[in-house]
């Protein structure tokens, strides 16, 4: 059985032996996952009032990711950087160019420019990280190691540091979440998203490496997910598993693509559509809170602001938390002007880079990945890898109907999404060269 060689993006025989090269690859890969999943600020104190205005950036994040970028870039220079060229698709280049143009017309050009540069750095690190594992088994081993470390930290913190690993009634924001587990993460919803990702990792590890190890990861992640009380994650996990099964077993790729993208359209119809349709709201009221815990107020506010700058937006990642919003719009709008994001990644993106920018982003992050999936390799282990990537991709685009998970400066779901998109691209090329 052949494995995927991430370094050359084509099938090769499984590699054995541990040398300095393997240690360096493994160390870099696990390090970046722990930085993303645990962050430089684990166990934040939620009783402290949050800062109201967006600042220039977090120094620890800036220095940490700058160091990682230099380390990953240095490694890449020694291992044929031309292997990254296939990821520079026209859709990605045009999208980033439009984002850069949005910076020029932004009302906060300095903030938008810094955040776009940081986003580009994170994208580069995610792309290079896929070239570090030597084969699928090595990739599974590293994913399992990083996942188990984070799970251990989360469970240990719940048992030993409950003041910092659970939500409490003393939280400055959302005290109603008291009792929900969050582990090392700043919010239960982020913990829920991470645990959903870990379930996918566990299923992948069970299939290509070790059934018992994979089952343990799935069980530990599922239990933590339940106690996080993250309703979005709990609801979307089974949906993703069902849709991913349909996608992989459909006889016609066009039908599977319609099912995957149709589910995304339906989720946004249910969320954003509830603002405009009484029928949708009445139907939702039978099963869930039709306001989606206050999100509809934020969506209405965001749509009103988008209508004023539909083409250019307000600048890449430069709307929420800026002085113009917090102070300039607070007197003439609802409490939603103090929100940290739109709680819908697509609306959030349109608000900051305009509707053309959103359209370009949808091509790169929704249309192309599912097309790449149907160029997947024929080898069984490689199919397991493509299934892992498609599950992560589905979960990210679906949960983005209720959370602003994409194009964030940092975040475990955003980084995993990038790895999935780039991974599907590499796998599609490996089939072409097989």
Taking residue 356's Cβ as centre, other Cβ atoms within 10 Å add up to 17
330-389 tens-digit pLDDT: 555 566 767 777 889 999 999 999 999 999 999 999 999 998 888 765 555 578 899 999
Q: What is the Cα gyration radius of the chain?
A: 21
59-73 tens-digit pLDDT: 777 888 888 999 999
Q: Could you tell me which residue, 120 or 275, shows the higher pLDDT? A: 120
Q: What is the DSSP string of 341-365?
A: S-SSHHHHHHHHHHHHHHHHHHIII
Q: Average model confidence (pLDDT) for the chain?
A: 84
Over residues 127-150, mean pLDDT: 94
Return the pLDDT at 332: 53
Task: Work out the pLDDT band at 329, boundaries 50, 70, 90.
Answer: low
Task: Work out the pLDDT band at 14, boundaries 50, 70, 90.
Answer: very low
The DSSP output letter for 402 is: T
Q: What percent of the chain has pLDDT over 70?
A: 84
Over residues 187-213, mean pLDDT: 93
| CA separation for the pair 118, 126 (Å, rounded) | 12
Cβ–Cβ under 8 Å, residues 212 and 186: no
Q: Is the pLDDT of residue 397 over 90?
A: yes
Cα of 267 vs its chain's centroid, Å: 17
Q: Is the pLDDT of residue 222 over 50?
A: yes
User: What angle, rounded to 10 degrees, do the helices at 136-160 and 20-38 form?
Assistant: 40
| CA separation for the pair 384, 387 (Å, rounded) | 5
| CA separation for the pair 19, 7 (Å, rounded) | 16
The distance between the two most distant Cα atoms of the chain, rounded to a whole number of Å, is 65
The DSSP output letter for 17 is: -
Cβ–Cβ under 8 Å, residues 353 and 316: yes
Using alpha carbons, select from 428, 74, 9 the residue that is nearest to residue 253.
428
Token reading at 191: 């913990």
Using alpha carbons, select from 88, 127, 148 the residue that is nearest to residue 6.
127
| pTM given for the model | 0.89
Q: Could you tell me which residue, 298 or 215, shows the higher pLDDT? A: 215
Q: Is the pLDDT of residue 150 over 70?
A: yes
Over residues 377-403, mean pLDDT: 85
- Out of 81-90, 145-154, 292-301, 312-321, give the one with best mean pLDDT: 145-154
| CA separation for the pair 106, 352 (Å, rounded) | 9
Task: Work out the pLDDT band at 285, boundaries 50, 70, 90.
Answer: low
Task: Work out the pLDDT band at 11, boundaries 50, 70, 90.
Answer: very low
Task: Work out the pLDDT band at 104, boundaries 50, 70, 90.
Answer: very high
Over residues 144-161, mean pLDDT: 94
Classify 12 as helix, strand or coil: strand
Residue with tokens 């199919």: 383
Return the pLDDT at 56: 56
Task: Work out the pLDDT band at 15, boundaries 50, 70, 90.
Answer: very low
Q: What percent of the chain has pLDDT over 90?
A: 44
């Amino acid at each position: 059985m052949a494995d995927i060689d991430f370094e050359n993006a084509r099938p090769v025989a499984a590699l054995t032996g541990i040398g300095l090269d393997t240690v360096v690859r493994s160390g870099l890969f696990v390090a970046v996952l722990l930085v993303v999943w645990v962050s430089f600020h684990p166990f934040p104190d939620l009783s402290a009032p949050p800062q109201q205005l967006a600042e220039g950036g977090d120094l620890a994040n800036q220095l940490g990711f700058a160091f990682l970028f230099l380390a990953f870039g240095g490694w890449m220079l020694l291992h044929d950087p031309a292997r990254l060229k296939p990821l520079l698709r026209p859709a990605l280049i045009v999208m980033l160019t439009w984002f850069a143009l949005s910076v020029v017309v932004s009302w906060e050009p300095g903030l938008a420019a810094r955040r776009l540069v940081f986003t580009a750095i994170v994208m580069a690190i995610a792309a290079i990280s896929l070239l570090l594992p030597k084969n699928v088994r090595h990739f599974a081993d590293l994913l399992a190691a990083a996942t188990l470390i984070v799970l251990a930290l989360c469970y240990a913190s719940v048992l030993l540091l409950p003041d910092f690993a659970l939500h409490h009634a003393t939280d400055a924001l959302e005290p109603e979440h008291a009792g929900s587990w969050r582990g090392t993460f700043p919010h239960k919803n982020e913990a829920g998203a991470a645990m959903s990702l870990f379930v996918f990792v566990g299923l992948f590890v069970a299939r290509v490496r070790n059934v018992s190890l994979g089952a343990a990861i799935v069980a530990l992640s599922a239990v933590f997910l339940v106690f996080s009380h993250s309703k979005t994650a709990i609801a979307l996990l089974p949906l993703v598993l069902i849709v991913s099964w349909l996608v992989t077993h459909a006889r016609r790729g066009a039908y599977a693509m319609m099912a995957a993208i149709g589910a995304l359209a339906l989720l946004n119809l249910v969320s954003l559509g509830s603002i405009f349709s009484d029928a949708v709201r009445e139907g939702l009221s039978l099963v869930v809170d039709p306001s989606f815990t206050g999100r509809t107020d934020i969506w209405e506010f965001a749509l009103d602001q988008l209508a004023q700058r539909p083409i250019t937006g307000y600048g890449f990642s430069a709307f929420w938390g800026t002085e113009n919003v917090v102070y300039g719009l607070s007197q003439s709008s609802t409490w939603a002007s103090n929100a940290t994001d739109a709680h819908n990644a697509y609306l959030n993106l349109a608000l900051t880079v305009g509707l053309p920018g959103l359209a370009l982003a949808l091509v790169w992050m929704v249309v192309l990945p599912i097309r790449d999936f149907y160029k997947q390799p024929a080898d069984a282990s490689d199919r397991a890898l493509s299934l892992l990537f498609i599950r992560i991709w589905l979960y990210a685009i679906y949960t983005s109907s209720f959370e602003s998970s994409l194009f964030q400066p940092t975040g475990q779901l955003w980084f995993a999404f990038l790895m999935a998109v780039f991974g599907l691209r590499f796998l599609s090329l490996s089939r072409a060269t097989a």
